[in-house]
Structure 1
Amino acid sequence: MRTSVVVFTCDLRLSDHPPLRAARYGGGRVVPLFVRDPAVDRAGFAAPNRLAFLADCLRDLDARLRERGGRLVLREGDAVTEVCRVAAEADTDEVHMADDVSAFARAREQRLRRALEADGRRLYVHDAVSTAVAPGAVTPASSDHFAVFTPYYRRWSAQGLRDVLDTPRAITVPEEVGSAQLPERGDVSGVSPGLCAGGETAGRRRLTAWLRSGVDAYEERHDDLAGDGTSRLSPHLHFGTLSPVEAVHRARRVGGAGAEAFVRQIAWRDFHRQVLAARPDAAARDYRTHHDRWRGGKNAAADAEAWREGRTGYPVVDAAMRQLRHEGWMHNRGRLLTASFLTKTLYVDWRVGARHFLDLLVDGDLANNQLNWQWMAGTGTDTRPNRVLNPVTQGKRYDPDGAYVRRWVEELAGVQGAVVHEPWNLPAQERARTGYPKPVVSLAEGLDRFKRARGRS
């Protein structure tokens, strides 16, 4: 009987899974394989929150496979070595996996292809697995990728998506291929206490609930910090427990302005991936440099630490940073505010912020994280690179009664009304009782410093 290996990476699901569909073509046996590679740790991608979520995902994937007569095979070690070893044990000549865009993933794919071909085997890489539209599927006439979102989105929207694939009813795994023990969330230390549950089961449940009762109001509520009118599906899209193709199809069936706004966010995710696929160095280097001489030294380091700890003295910034530490997730409007504050008000290198986010975010996707940080720092694809978000104005606009701030900044929990966004305006004794820190810098000073640094004053 024909046997194929399916290597799971950022696609930890059974529903709408092109590599699995291809491997099962003709009713053959399948080895569903996940390799826990120490190189991921060495590269700095194995943050506790993502490891805990990953453990949930692998256990759920194994459970769903067992419901269909199969099981997940887990190996630990160099990914190329382990895939080749499993292919030899299964006596197969074909391996299937999903495309990915990071330099790390591309190098792994190339090494694996060479190693398999040396053994007389073949690697099949499938696109539109972790994206709705594959990187490079739509390009402008004069470049290998779109550098501006709006024209990309027009072409992306006109691109036909593939059909959603059925979830397999039965999977046969050869008994002779052994597996390491699956990890457990409880084995991971340093996990955020409010981290959400991982796995395809949880992801599909959340998507269904979102499309039923949340997406209709998304256009109006997606910036509401306290109301939290976002889908919170980003961790599931990052780990591939949900298919972006299926999410777009289902949202379009619901229809309306909210669904369109939600689909637009998935397009943003694809946009960043096509940028990173074409410019892999953008993960660490300016996409469009302004020759910034970012602040260094003790004062800048102290400001950055205050930002990490959520004690900058600007309530909405601190609330978002404390939410990140507690949940391993942050509201999108909070991500924009905190990134603007670090890079433009404090004038600290965007890489400092991007690294901290990757250390904590459960949805810490390299393309989205790095390129969104560059967007806010003005070194990326933003057509207005010098825009600065005022945290007081933004707080009053997107958290008008201060509920978000009071939820996360306990020192200000007793402060009522919009003054919670400007605690320095409280009577002196009342402010002293809160114990909340003074601003690390005045907004006027920060703006002036940024303008001078960019040669705009």
Structure 2
Amino acid sequence: MLAAIAEGPVIPVYILDDATPKHYAMGGASRWWLQHSLASLDAALRAKGSRLILRRGESDVVLAAIAEETGATRVHCIRHHEPWWRNAERAVAKRLDLVCHDGNYLSSPGSITTGSGGQYKIFTPFWRALKTTMPPPHPTHAPTDLPAPAPWPKSDTLADWNLLPTKPDWSAGFGEEWTPGEDGARARLTAFKRHAAQYGETRNLPSIEGSSRLSPHLHFGEVSAAQVWHAVADAGGSVDTFLGEIGWRDYAQNIIREFPDYGSKNARDTLNALPWRTGATADADLQAWQQGRTGYPIVDAGMRQLWATGWMHNRVRMITASFLIKHLLIDWRVGERWFWDCLVDADYGSNAVNWQWTAGTGVDSNMFVRIMAPLVQSPKFDAGAYIRRWVPELSGVRGEAIHDPDEAGFRPRAYPAKIIGHREGRERALAAVKQQR
């Protein structure tokens, strides 16, 4: 924004471009966030004597039309690294003078290289190299006012875009959990600063919720990675674990720059012939997973939290993903697409890298034969209160029985039996690996 202001009047523009990403157009939960984030941004701009222009269509076509209408000579933007937005940037640059700025990551993706100049594929050496360039530059102060054009170009309204769900409205719980926009991001960061020193000890405990919950604010650019770094880096304790998670965002962007189809193609071809389950029975199991009706309380709590709030605790994301891939032997890409639609923080790089890590297909990943045991994970990470909150049928189950009420003999009639036993699912997954080899 400051670079644009230095050149004269500024026209802030947001384009809803669903054509360029094709099947990776923004999912339903992200569109809910976008509605409220854009409303917040427009209000902030109007307080500075400006406003937000909304247009819908292909980015290069829309920006060229606005330039013709207004006489604008240059476009400034924050650089994005999803393959479709890189294509869009090239298309805009053919029509207009485009200036791309880095701003949403600790370093410019692609800039952290090995000694030979290549890209890191493994996170640990990448993070070690990235840390040598830290801290990031301090964020600059926001301008107090923005020079306005005369006249303003026409704009859509948010209502024109129908971003919010209506038939049915599944977002009733979102507003209780989230405040999209810069004010919400600042409040979330302020709250997290008080607990950042204990992040390493609490981040895996879903009942305590040691996460920062900054991921959707970071994804939508309402707070920067640099701003978060400088706010918490000196917290002490185990804050370095959290800083590593911020570094993981950078790592994921580097991966999708090198492997643009990471969301749809195995990075390792050793599992390309794995016989994933398909057909009516697999579809029924998938639906049970999506609805949180698997009979595994920690899995069901996570899937219901996802549906109700557009977010899921990180430890539980790993458990639910592993369950789909290994217990149910359903292709990781099916889960990746479900998360893409349901997460308010749906990010192509992070989502794809995390799913391939769990599936054992990523360039840096867990081995497929390492199968998470949800009935072990649940008591290990003290998930009882979390389960009781998100699976109300189990709210009356006390003590350790909450983790496996079926086995303990306390399963309420309203709660389903396990759709597959742990040993059965594990043995089926291992047999599938042996078969494809």
Give the TM interval when normalised to the shorter protein. Answer: over 0.9
Deviations 1:329-354 (A, max 9, x none): 00001100000111111111001101
1:136 aligns with 2:110: yes
For 2:24 and 2:125, the matched residues in 1 are separated by 34
AA matched with 2:98: L
Residue 424 of structure 1 corresponds to which residue in structure 2?
Answer: 406
For 1:255 and 1:193, the matched residues in 2 are separated by 35
Q: How does 1:359-374 map to 2 (within 5 A)?
A: 359-374=341-356
8 Å Cα contact 1:52/1:191 also seen in 2: no
Q: How does 1:226-305 map to 2 (within 5 A)?
A: 226-252=207-233, 254-289=234-269, 290-291=271-272, 292-305=274-287
For 1:105 and 1:437, the matched residues in 2 are separated by 43
Residue 165 of structure 1 corresponds to which residue in structure 2?
Answer: 140
CA drift at 1:177:
2.6
8 Å Cα contact 1:45/1:358 also seen in 2: no
CA drift at 1:75:
1.4
**Secondary structure in 2 aligned to 1:384?**
coil
1:394 to 377, 383, 387: 377
Against the structure 1 CA distance between its residues 73 and 228, is the aligned structure 2 distance closer, same or farther, given a 3 Å change threshold? Answer: same
For 1:98 and 1:167, the matched residues in 2 are separated by 15
Residue 203 of structure 2 corresponds to which residue in structure 1?
Answer: 222
AA matched with 1:358: W
CA drift at 1:40:
6.0
CA drift at 1:284:
0.9
CA drift at 1:110:
0.9
For 2:315 and 2:204, the matched residues in 1 are separated by 6
Deviations 1:198-241 (A, max 9, x none): 11111112112211x22122111001111111111111011111
8 Å Cα contact 1:218/1:261 also seen in 2: yes
Against the structure 1 CA distance between its residues 60 and 24, is the aligned structure 2 distance closer, same or farther, given a 3 Å change threshold? Answer: same
For 1:191 and 1:381, the matched residues in 2 are separated by 36
1:153 aligns with 2:153: no
Residue 322 of structure 1 corresponds to which residue in structure 2?
Answer: 304
Against the structure 1 CA distance between its residues 186 and 382, is the aligned structure 2 distance closer, same or farther, given a 3 Å change threshold? Answer: closer
More moved, 221-230 vs 141-150: 141-150
1:203 aligns with 2:149: no
**Structure 1: tracts of 5 or more residues without a match:** 1-19, 117-121
Deviations 1:404-452 (A, max 9, x none): 111111111110011111112233xx53x43211111111111111112
Residue 70 of structure 2 corresponds to which residue in structure 1?
Answer: 90
AA matched with 1:193: A
2:397 to 411, 415, 418: 415
More moved, 139-148 vs 321-330: 139-148
Against the structure 1 CA distance between its residues 307 and 143, is the aligned structure 2 distance closer, same or farther, given a 3 Å change threshold? Answer: farther
8 Å Cα contact 1:371/1:380 also seen in 2: yes
AA matched with 1:167: A
Deviations 1:1-31 (A, max 9, x none): xxxxxxxxxxxxxxxxxxx1211226x2111
For 1:58 and 1:383, the matched residues in 2 are separated by 36
For 1:141 and 1:365, the matched residues in 2 are separated by 29
Taking structure 1 as the reference length, the TM-score comes to: 0.89
Residue 155 of structure 2 corresponds to which residue in structure 1?
Answer: 180
CA drift at 1:42:
4.5
**Structure 2: tracts of 5 or more residues without a match:** none
For 1:403 and 1:109, the matched residues in 2 are separated by 47
8 Å Cα contact 1:376/1:382 also seen in 2: no
Residue 4 of structure 1 corresponds to which residue in structure 2?
Answer: none
**Large movers: runs of 4+ above 4 Å:** 184-187
1:57 aligns with 2:37: yes
More moved, 323-332 vs 64-73: 64-73
8 Å Cα contact 2:31/2:163 also seen in 1: no
For 2:231 and 2:107, the matched residues in 1 are separated by 15
CA drift at 1:77:
2.1
Residue 6 of structure 2 corresponds to which residue in structure 1?
Answer: 25
AA matched with 1:24: I
8 Å Cα contact 1:343/1:349 also seen in 2: yes
Taking structure 2 as the reference length, the TM-score comes to: 0.93
**Secondary structure in 2 aligned to 1:51?**
helix
Q: RMSD value over aligned CA atoms?
A: 1.9
How many residue pairs were aligned? 425
Against the structure 1 CA distance between its residues 384 and 283, is the aligned structure 2 distance closer, same or farther, given a 3 Å change threshold? Answer: closer
8 Å Cα contact 1:59/1:182 also seen in 2: no
For 1:263 and 1:339, the matched residues in 2 are separated by 24
AA matched with 1:405: I
